[in-house]
């Protein structure tokens, strides 16, 4: 469970990107729906401890996140919107390097984690291919494989379906929905169907404020 209380963030240019946001996010897939510029990325970066809020609190399974950033980061898988790949490296090689960085220093353990993630994301057949030759959907699936290294308990995925065709989008969302019990998975999107199709719970955010939250149909009807 991720618990956010009265979170505020105003950038130096005066934009109030997060306006008194309070949210209770249970385990499972949670959709953060809102148009471009709503403040989704800002909120996610703050939860991921990449930027400090001006005020408010964040607790993750009881952990005071803002006072224990390193501890949060060890449980975090984060896929930013604009993540880059190294085009001349294979998925398997890069994932193995990231596994080392994640602290999977024992060879057997690392190999098992990498192989399992390549299977889970349906990239096993393409594991030896360079990432530069991957389609948009394959890249996003690689991104989620990377984010899932080390079995994170909090997974944050920023606008992953933008630019994916319908098949790839479904494949990607189904993958997110399957990540596991006892894991909070936050998906941001501006596509309504992304949340109505697969997220048991959601919040609608506009101009930094939560306008509605709950089960998708109930939340959307309440607008
Ligand atoms: P979303 O992810 O929903 O598109 P963002 O969180 O990226 O929304 O942006 C929310 C608002 O904050 C936008 O008006 C955006 O231009 C502004 N913003 C985002 N990041 C910064 C920043 N680092 N400095 C100043 N303004 C920013
Ligand atoms: P997103 O589409 O994920 O909401 P943006 O395109 O708004 O992201 O922002 C991309 C990057 O530019 C982010 O690192 C954000 O902090 C920064 N940024 C966005 N808007 C502004 C802004 N108005 N002033 C300064 N930096 C910004």
User: pLDDT tens across 42-64, in order?
Assistant: 999 999 999 999 999 999 999 99
Cα 63 to ligand 1 centre (Å): 27
Ligand 1 atom, smallest distance to 38 CA:
3
Confidence of residue 223 (pLDDT cuts 50, 70, 90): confident
Mean pLDDT of the region 122-134 = 96
Q: Exposed (0-12), middle (13-18) or buried (19+): which is 84, by Cβ within 10 Å?
A: exposed
- What's the pLDDT at 4? 98
List % helix, strand, coil for the chain (3-state, nearest 5): 35, 30, 35
3-state DSSP call for residue 143? helix
What is the pLDDT of the chain when averaged over all its residues?
A: 95
Cα 64 to ligand 2 centre (Å): 27
Confidence of residue 220 (pLDDT cuts 50, 70, 90): confident
In this predicted structure, the answer to whether residue 163 has a pLDDT above a threshold of 90 is no
- The residues, ordered by sequence, that sit 6+ positions from 30 with a Cβ below 8 Å of its Cβ are 184, 185, 186, 187, 199, 200, 201, 202, 203
In this predicted structure, the answer to whether residue 209 has a pLDDT above a threshold of 90 is yes
- What's the pLDDT at 70? 96
Cα 181 to ligand 1 centre (Å): 31
In this predicted structure, the answer to whether residue 38 has a pLDDT above a threshold of 90 is yes
Instruction: Indicate whether this model's pTM tops 0.80.
Output: yes
């Amino acid at each position: 469970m991720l618990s956010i209380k009265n979170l505020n963030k105003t950038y130096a240019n005066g934009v109030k990107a997060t306006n008194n946001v309070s949210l209770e996010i249970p385990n499972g897939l949670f959709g953060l729906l809102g148009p471009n510029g709503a403040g989704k990325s800002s909120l996610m970066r703050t939860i991921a401890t990449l930027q400090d809020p001006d005020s408010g609190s964040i607790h993750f399974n009881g952990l005071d996140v803002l006072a224990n950033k390193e501890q949060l980061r060890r449980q975090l898988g984060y896929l930013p919107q604009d993540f880059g790949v190294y085009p001349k490296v294979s998925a398997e090689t890069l994932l193995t390097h990231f596994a080392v960085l994640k602290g999977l220093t024992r060879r057997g353990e690392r190999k098992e984690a990498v192989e399992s993630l390549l299977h889970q994301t349906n990239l096993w057949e393409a594991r030896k291919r360079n990432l530069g030759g991957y389609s948009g959907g394959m890249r996003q699936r690689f991104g989620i494989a990377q984010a899932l290294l080390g079995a994170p308990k909090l997974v944050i995925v920023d606008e992953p379906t933008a630019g994916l065709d319908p098949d790839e989008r479904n494949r990607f969302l189904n993958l997110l929905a399957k990540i596991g019990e006892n894991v909070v998975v936050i998906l941001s999107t501006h596509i309504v169907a992304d949340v109505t199709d697969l997220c048991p719970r959601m919040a609608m955010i506009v101009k930094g404020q939560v306008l509605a939250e709950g089960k998708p149909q109930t939340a959307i009807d309440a607008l």
